[in-house]
Amino acid sequence: MENNLNNPKQTSEHTVADEEIDLRELFTAIWQGKWIIIAITTLFAVASVFYAINQPNIYKSEALLAPAEEQQGGGLGALAGQFGGLAGLAGVDIGGGGDKTQLALEILKSRKFTSNFIEKHSILPDLMAVESWDLATGSLTYDTDVYNPDTNTWLREAKAPKKAEPSMQEAYKVFSKIIDTNTDPETSTITLSVAHISPVIAQQWVNWLIEDINIEVKQRDVSEAIKSTEFLTQQLEKTKVSDIRSVLYNLVEEQTKTIMFANVRDEYVFKTIDPAIIPEERFKPRRAIICIAGTFLGIILSFFFLVLRFFLKRS
């Protein structure tokens, strides 16, 4: 014992030899378990292929948009510095209106807009109950355990407080996963996309979303402009000071321009640069990647099992 303590070199050699023996035994155990590796890997490979084949094709349709020019903002901006306080009392925004594009994107993602969109276009069955899409006929197949398209009846079994017909909260969660918006910081262009089992529906929903968000923001601006005009008109009737009346007339004129501009322009917030098309190629699933990932997972798990078994036997 004293010889080992006094001879660190000999102790180190023994440690290296023990490690070499452990590695040899480990490799031997892995080699002896090669059929386990083959069996587990094959099982995972077959399961991943089966899973990938049974996944429905998802198609993505997208449109490229650009912010519409704020042509009516020049007159209001000229009044901002001198008469901003008075306009603020009237509820008139003469500071440029903020980032209307960003506001529109936030409205697009809101629960209220989504709920109104689903109800307006009656797309709840296509959102919550579609099972497959026939490429040859272009027809949809619904999950008959969830929805009966012939009688327009919801049949799914749901625990309270949920009902057979999905609520707008449930629909919003699903819809928010299939819609996507990306803004290019360099060009300020926006890509709006929708993913769905049916490429026709994906394209239709993108077009509807662009149309509806333009209408929504337009109606908001027109409503605010009308309210501001009514207030300003009341103030005109109350004041006799010529300078103030001149300012009020200018503000009324700008609000009238806002209303006129909104009524004659369909692409109020977003201009469509590249419209949505019916995609011919699927967006997902990537079946090859699923199969490769499943096979590698089987290999890793089988090696882990053999290594774990080896150390458990030695302990």
pLDDT at 19: 53
29 domain-assigned: yes
- Percent pLDDT > 70 in the chain is 83
Q: Are residues 110 and 7 in the same domain?
A: no
CATH number at residue 235: 3.30.1890
162 domain-assigned: no
Q: Are residues 198 and 300 in the same domain?
A: no
Query: β-strand 147-148 against 153-154: which pairing, if any?
Result: antiparallel
Q: From start to end of the chain, where are the E strands?
A: 59-67, 130-133, 140-142, 147-148, 153-154, 179-183, 190-196, 270-274
Q: Are residues 215 and 67 in the same domain?
A: yes
Q: Are residues 274 and 297 in the same domain?
A: no
Q: Is the pLDDT of residue 86 over 70?
A: no
Q: Are residues 230 and 110 in the same domain?
A: yes
pLDDT at 10: 53
pLDDT at 74: 42
Measured distance CA(142)–CA(32) in Å, rounded: 50
160 domain-assigned: no
69 domain-assigned: yes
Q: What is the mean pLDDT of the chain?
A: 82
> Which of 29-43, 101-115, 226-240 is modeled with the greatest confidence?
101-115
Q: Are residues 253 and 305 in the same domain?
A: no
Measured distance CA(106)–CA(176) in Å, rounded: 12
pLDDT digits (tens, 9 = 90+) for 294-305: 999 999 998 888
Instruction: Look up residue 154 and give its DSSP letter.
Output: E
Domain that holds residue 40: 2-53+288-314
Q: Are residues 247 and 171 in the same domain?
A: yes
Residue 274: φ, ψ to 5°: -130, 105
191 domain-assigned: yes
pLDDT at 18: 53
Average pLDDT over residues 26-47: 86
Measured distance CA(258)–CA(92) in Å, rounded: 11
Q: Are residues 23 and 89 in the same domain?
A: no
pLDDT digits (tens, 9 = 90+) for 223-276: 888 888 888 888 777 788 777 778 877 888 888 887 887 777 888 899 999 999
Number of structural domains (the chain) is 2
pLDDT at 20: 54
* 66-80, 138-152, 177-191, range with the lowest pLDDT: 66-80
Q: Is the peptide bond before 279 cis (omega within 30 degrees of 0)?
A: no
243 domain-assigned: yes
152 domain-assigned: no
Q: How far is CA 185 from each of CA 28, 190, 272, rounded to the nearest angstrom?
A: 57, 9, 18
Q: Is the pLDDT of residue 5 over 50?
A: no
Average pLDDT over residues 41-67: 91
pLDDT digits (tens, 9 = 90+) for 125-156: 999 999 989 888 888 999 989 999 989 999 99
Q: Are residues 242 and 275 in the same domain?
A: yes
pLDDT at 83: 47
263 domain-assigned: yes
What is the number of residues in the chain?
315
Q: Are residues 215 and 87 in the same domain?
A: yes
Q: Are residues 200 and 272 in the same domain?
A: yes
Q: Are residues 171 and 300 in the same domain?
A: no
Three-class SS state of 265:
coil
